[in-house]
Amino acid sequence: MTQDFIYDYEALNALHDSITKKWIPIRNKKGFDNTTADCPLCRLYAHNVCIGCPIAIETKTPYCDNSLYSLWSLHQRRDHGLKPPFFFQPCCVTCAALIDEFIDYLYSLLPDLREGKT
């Protein structure tokens, strides 16, 4: 992804927190995905149809539709039979791969702040 949108400080913090406080612990089986209830980005943007959310800007759709998150959610429901309330945690090789891809995707949304890269 080419970073051509400038996010504000609040968005960057929420994106970083989504990676480090939600998804990495889930990957390490120290947390659960409680969908929007525990997503730092959703806390900021879901109430306003995700306007301003880095994922919505990238996918051009609200609520993580057309993102890797929708593949994770579908996999949890279809292959593991999970239904609301959602407390998803990786439990197979596909889960782990989807989480790793999603974490990489979230990192790709962060601007490269190294000298000469912004």
> pLDDT per residue over 32-81, tens digit each?
888 889 999 999 999 999 999 999 999 999 999 999 999 988 898 888 88
CA angle 89, 68, 36 (to 5 degrees): 60
| Domain ranges across the chain | 9-109
pTM equals: 0.84
Share of the chain above pLDDT 70, in %: 86
Q: Which segments within the chain are labelled E, that is strand? A: none
Q: Do 82 and 27 touch, CB atoms closer than 8 A? A: no
Would you state the pLDDT for residue 80?
Answer: 86
